[in-house]
């Protein structure tokens, strides 16, 4: 039924809307200099892909494959200047300012894609890909209309978050996810590697973390969806795969809450530990690492060391969300004496002690910390007894009601902020009434496609007041995500809307235009085997 409805939807839409060289561009570019559309570059037998240096060979092959799929031609790849000028040139031009700023120039004599980095050149290619996707008739005739695009993003970090901790996703599925997000110019994947339901990264010094912690269902061997982990080798390979597509992987190991899996493997790390604990992995345990236990710090120092060696990202995400202090630290004798010794009034102030240590391990590895903007529910104004974020931490906001507070907190403190407000960017929220066959974590809230598109990462603040907002993140918690099809279904098409919210300046954004540009992208996703929710409601109106 879904497929038939989709086809009808696509047919109706494609007859209603123009198919031209701008009609599939998502995110929409920030600067387009439209040229005479009658002038066209024809891709013929002798046309080849020319690259300025070997460092662009991945991009050249990516372009070659893309042209083969779109136009049925296989162009050869050469280094150095094109003899007859009939080339698609890829070039690194250091003088272009901006790491992701690309210039795509299509004239009747050739095409050039330039930028200061490989990532920028890659983005020029993804834009060209969408030009061909939209301009059906010219593409069929192997022609591309003249056009000049000089484009760069509004927001530096355009992120999606995957949660293979709750349900394991095999590494090849994570790669598929990365390949798709890269097409829409997302540049960071936050990988939530540890939680109550699973420990998903091999740590060589502590094999029990995965022997026990990666098995939510102790009967299932290491087979998914509940069991499984990534070897460091697999993760290194993933990092390279993503880097080729200008995607950085930021690993998250969530502490001090969300730690049932590690505590199941090493019960002595928790505040309350009983013999029954060892085999139970899963939420509702409300367990926390014990702030007063030196073994916790020793172990995490080593874990962070191994993590830092696998992921070249400058940042390590240490979580910090949803700690149940009352049930853990407040009831733990050793924590209470530590609190007295430190002269703290509140149990929550132990967070300062806990993260003081954990963040120093991150810094020792030459990395910067990332934390959920939630510790102690950021009850403002911060007093010395509450947790205060160190200057080098980037924060990521999540709960709807906390986002304005987080913006204000970071505006004052100067900490960089990534926005992931639930009502705009949580992709585990339903997309439309009753569209979730599986149990949903959240119940009430619904994040429609239109709502995501309405997201303004500047929150309507003055340019100065939003200067510290460095990222947006589409967050997909995994409690109800049993496999990659489900992950895609919840992510798309909402991720298209968020991609544009993160990349395109407000003055170039329009819902009507986005909606029209979305349809050809849905047909692309269908062909690529990427599941998505059909936004029936848009066609019905
Ligand atoms: C809260 S949002 C969480 C996640 C859960 C989610 C849904 C956030 C920082 N933490 O651990 O997956 O609720 O249950």
* Structural domains of the chain, with CATH: 2-151 (3.30.379.10), 157-503 (3.20.20.80)
With tokens 């902020």, the residue in question is: 417
End-to-end CA distance of the chain: give it in Å, rounded.
20
Q: Which atom of ligand 1 is nearest to the CA of 374?
A: 9
Q: Whose CA is nearest to atom 6 of ligand 1?
A: 477
456 Cα distance to chain centroid:
18
The CA 199 to ligand 1 mean position distance, Å, reads 16
Query: Has 435 been annotated as catalytic?
Result: no
Distances (CA, A) of 247 to 41, 182, 188, 240, 251: 31, 7, 5, 9, 13
Choosing from 237, 306, 322, 465, the catalytic residue is 322
The CA 426 to ligand 1 mean position distance, Å, reads 10
Element at 236 (helix H, strand E): helix 232-244
Q: Which atom of ligand 1 is nearest to the CA of 372?
A: 9
Residue partners of 110: CB distance under 8 A and separation at least 6: 41, 82, 85, 86, 87, 88, 89
Q: Whose CA is nearest to atom 4 of ligand 1?
A: 477
pLDDT, one tens digit for every residue, the chain (541 residues): 666 666 565 555 554 556 899 999 999 999 999 878 889 999 987 899 999 888 999 999 999 999 999 999 999 999 877 565 689 999 999 999 999 999 999 999 999 999 999 999 999 999 999 999 999 999 999 999 999 999 999 999 999 999 999 999 999 999 999 999 999 999 999 999 999 999 999 999 999 999 999 998 777 678 767 899 999 999 999 999 999 999 999 999 999 999 999 998 999 999 875 544 444 566 656 789 999 999 999 999 999 999 999 999 999 999 998 888 888 899 899 999 999 999 988 888 898 899 999 999 999 999 999 999 886 544 444 444 356 788 899 999 987 777 888 898 898 889 999 999 988 999 998 888 766 655 566 666 789 999 999 999 999 999 999 999 999 999 999 988 989 999 999 999 999 999 999 999 999 999 999 999 999 999 999 999 999 999 988 876 5
The reply to whether ligand 1 has any atom less than 6 angstroms from the CB of 441 is yes
The CA 322 to ligand 1 mean position distance, Å, reads 8
Q: Which atom of ligand 1 is nearest to the CA of 477?
A: 12
Structure token pair of residue 243:
């880097």
Query: Has 322 been annotated as catalytic?
Result: yes
Q: Strand ranges (DSSP E) for 146-241?
A: 147-151, 157-162, 188-195, 198-199
Choosing from 101, 167, 192, 258, the catalytic residue is 258
The CA 477 to ligand 1 mean position distance, Å, reads 6
Nearest-angstrom CA–CA distance, 19 and 508: 19
């Amino acid at each position: 039924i879904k497929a038939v409805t989709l086809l009808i939807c696509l047919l109706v839409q494609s007859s209603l809307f123009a198919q031209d060289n701008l009609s599939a561009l998502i995110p929409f570019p920030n600067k387009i200099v439209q040229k005479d559309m009658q002038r066209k570059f024809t891709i013929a037998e002798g046309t080849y892909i020319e690259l300025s240096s070997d460092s662009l060979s991945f991009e050249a092959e990516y372009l070659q494959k893309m042209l083969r799929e779109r136009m049925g031609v296989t162009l050869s790849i050469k280094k150095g200047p094109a003899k007859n000028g009939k080339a698609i040139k890829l070039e690194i031009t250091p003088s272009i300012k901006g790491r992701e700023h690309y210039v795509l120039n299509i004239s009747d004599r050739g095409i050039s894609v330039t930028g200061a980095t490989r990532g920028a050149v890659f983005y020029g290619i993804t834009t060209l890909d969408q030009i061909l996707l939209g301009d059906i008739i010219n593409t069929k005739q192997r022609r591309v209309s003249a056009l000049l695009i000089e484009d760069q993003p509004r927001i530096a970090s355009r992120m999606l978050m995957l949660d293979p901790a709750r349900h394991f996703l095999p590494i090849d599925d994570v790669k598929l996810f990365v390949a798709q997000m890269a097409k829409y110019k997302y540049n960071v994947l936050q990988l939530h590697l540890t939680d109550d339901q699973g420990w998903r990264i091999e740590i060589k010094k502590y094999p029990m973390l995965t022997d026990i912690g990666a098995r939510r269902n102790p009967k299932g061997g290491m087979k998914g969806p509940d069991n499984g982990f990534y070897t460091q080798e697999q993760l290194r390979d993933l990092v390279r795969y993503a880097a080729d597509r200008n995607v950085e992987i930021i690993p998250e190991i969530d502490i001090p809450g969300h730690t049932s899996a590690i505590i199941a493997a090493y019960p002595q790390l928790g505040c309350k530990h009983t013999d029954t604990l060892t085999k139970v992995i899963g939420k509702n345990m409300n367990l926390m690492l014990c702030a007063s236990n030196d073994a916790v710090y020793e172990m995490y120092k080593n874990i962070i060391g191994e993590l830092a060696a696998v992921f070249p990202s400058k940042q390590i995400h240490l979580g910090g969300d949803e700690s149940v202090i009352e049930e853990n630290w407040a009831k733990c004798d050793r924590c209470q004496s530590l609190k007295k010794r430190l002269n703290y009034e509140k149990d929550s102030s132990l967070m300062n002690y806990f993260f003081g240590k954990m963040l120093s391990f991150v810094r020792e590895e030459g990395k910067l910390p990332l934390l959920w903007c939630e510790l102690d529910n950021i009850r403002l104004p911060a007093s010395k007894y509450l947790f205060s974020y160190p200057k080098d931490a980037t924060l990521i906001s999540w709960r709807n009601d906390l986002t304005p507070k987080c913006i204000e907190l970071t505006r004052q403190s100067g900490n960089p902020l990534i926005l992931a407000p639930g009502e705009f960017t949580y992709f585990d929220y339903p997309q439309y009434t009753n569209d979730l066959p599986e149990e949903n974590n959240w119940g009430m809230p619904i994040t429609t496609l239109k709502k995501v598109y309405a997201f303004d990462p500047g929150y309507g603040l003055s340019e100065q007041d939003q200067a510290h907002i460095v990222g947006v993140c589409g967050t997909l918690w995994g409690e109800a995500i049993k496999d990659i099809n489900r992950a895609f279904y919840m992510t798309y098409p909402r991720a298209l809307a968020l991609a544009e919210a993160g990349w395109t300046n407000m003055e170039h954004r329009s819902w009507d235009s986005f909606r029209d540009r979305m349809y050809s992208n849905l047909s692309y996703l269908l062909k690529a085997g990427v599941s998505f929710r059909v936004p029936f409601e848009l066609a019905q109106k």
